[in-house]
Amino acid sequence: MNTLTTSFRQLIGSLRFVWLIYGVTLVMGLLVALPFYNTLLAEDQNSREFLKLLDGFDYTVYSDFMHRSGRSISPLLSVSRWLGVLSIFMSIFFAGGILMLFSAENQRVSMGEFLAACSAYIGRYVHLFGVVLLFVLAGAVIWLVIGVLAGTLLSDTLTERGLFWIGTVFFGLFGLSATLILCIGDYAKILMFRNDEQRAFRAFGQAGRFVLANLARAYGFYILLIGIGTALFGLYFLIDGLIPMRNWPTILLLFIIQQTLIFSRVGLKIWWLGTAYGVYGSLPQPTIARLIATESTGQERTN
């Protein structure tokens, strides 16, 4: 747990960068939310049907509105999809700067140094994202094929409930393998940062060997922080169910709670990368990674 507490202290000391990333996330959200709000005001025609949505999702209200005003909403939905892609890119972009914060330990990092580190590693991290996505999709196809085959073979002996549970089990196995692949991808970022590795496939392979050799700590901390994030979401939905959105004060209160959750989620992502950075430095590294680090050190001494 020392790694967790150390990285958490470093996170607290770097809150201005947490606020920066949160601010970028908030601005991207407002780019969609404000046009949506203005469009809804223009299209609702003073109808009180939308008030039903304050008590929860109502498919009848939604379908009627989309049937009448779908053409006005469709461009905004397209923009929201592109902003989703942009948010993924920004998450990749900030990774280099976040790792620099934890590598600096007690030294103060300026905003310029942070952004310079973000820019320096964006190219190789985009390539790494492609590798991770490839493995996630491959895992999805594999588990889908196995699940379909299992369901087909057992369809004559199981009820619909039994087939449902088979599907649930294989979906859970896919989720578990996907989180493992994403965890390996984050350690690959750290390996590329620490060892100046340029090749995404090789870094992913080395990170995979490291995670599998140290599964309890490397993957265990990842699952722990995912559990914390899931618990925060559960707490939000619990509060959302207890506070009815009847007026502006309750809407404002839920907005503040929602933004607090988003800020915490940003902090959890940064905390995880810092924890993974500490875990990678405290455990034996893959043999190839140590060899690369030794060669790079020797070249620096020669120069």
Q: Which of 94, 142, 134, 91 is nearest to 115 (CA)?
A: 94
Residue range 168-195: mean pLDDT, rounded: 94
pLDDT band for position 46 (cuts 50, 70, 90): low
pLDDT digits (tens, 9 = 90+) for 16-26: 999 999 999 99
Q: Is 0.95 topped by the overall pTM?
A: no
Is pLDDT above 90 for 222?
A: yes
Nearest to 204 by CA among 218, 190, 219, 220: 190
What value does the mean pLDDT take over residues 214-229? 92
How much is the pLDDT for 283? Answer: 84
Q: How far apart, in whole angstroms, are the C-alpha atoms of residue 38 and residue 58? A: 21
Domain locations in the chain?
A: 2-297
Q: Which residue has the higher pLDDT, 13 or 287?
A: 13
Q: What is the DSSP letter of 268?
A: H
Q: What angle do CA 216, 236, 165 make, to 5 degrees?
A: 60
* Whole-angstrom distance, CA of residue 264 vs CA of residue 238: 17
Task: Express each pLDDT in 246-258 by its tens digit.
Answer: 777 888 888 899 8
> Locate tokens 């970028």: which residue?
24
